[in-house]
Amino acid sequence: MSKLVAGAALGPEQFRVRRADLIRYAAASGDFNPIHWSDRVARAAGLPGVIAHGMYTMALAARAVTTWSGDPTSIQDFAVRFTKPVVVPDDDDGALVEVFGLVKDADEDGRTRIDLTVTCDGERVLGMAGATLVTADA
């Protein structure tokens, strides 16, 4: 975890999100809300079209953090707000989600806090996003 020093800027980690990813996430998570696979239903709900599950975007943000920490089980606390939907067009490019991190000071228990900025098309899609990592072996 040597690169997780206070003040370090991490990323961006980039994730391409396509319609097929949302279908697969729906099946794996059990969240079959049609706004994540039907343009008709999404538009009726006032959205521009199919949007990614907020939980899918959150999962990608967690992947970015564990990529940086090098340990897929290092996140002890992880919180986000869903501020703006990730609209996923029905094409081969889909949407690009980018995750940036900023390492805060380690707390008295030796845990490391990383504040996250998660964007799509340059706009923040998650707010108040941050992870606290266990760094027992640091």
Instruction: Give the interface with other proteins as residue ranges (CB under 8 A).
Output: 15, 21, 24-25, 27-31, 45, 54-56, 58-60, 62-63, 65-66, 72-73, 75-82, 128
Report the distance separating Cα 85 and Cα 90, nearest Å: 15
- By beta-carbon proximity to other proteins, the closer residue of 7 and 129 is 129
- The distance of closest approach from Cβ of residue 68 to other proteins in the complex, given in angstroms and rounded to an integer, is 13
- The distance of closest approach from Cβ of residue 82 to other proteins in the complex, given in angstroms and rounded to an integer, is 6
- By beta-carbon proximity to other proteins, the closer residue of 46 and 122 is 46
SS3 93: coil
Report the distance separating Cα 88 and Cα 98, nearest Å: 14
- By beta-carbon proximity to other proteins, the closer residue of 7 and 71 is 71
Report the distance separating Cα 121 and Cα 85, nearest Å: 11
Two tokens at 87? Answer: 């609209």
Q: Select from 59, 61, 30, 33 the least CA-distant residue to 47.
A: 33
- The distance of closest approach from Cβ of residue 132 to other proteins in the complex, given in angstroms and rounded to an integer, is 9
E strand or H helix at 69 = helix 54-69
- By beta-carbon proximity to other proteins, the closer residue of 7 and 73 is 73
* Ramachandran quadrant class, 28 (left: phi over 0; alpha: psi -120 to 50; beta: rest): alpha
- The distance of closest approach from Cβ of residue 10 to other proteins in the complex, given in angstroms and rounded to an integer, is 16
- The distance of closest approach from Cβ of residue 81 to other proteins in the complex, given in angstroms and rounded to an integer, is 4
- By beta-carbon proximity to other proteins, the closer residue of 84 and 100 is 84
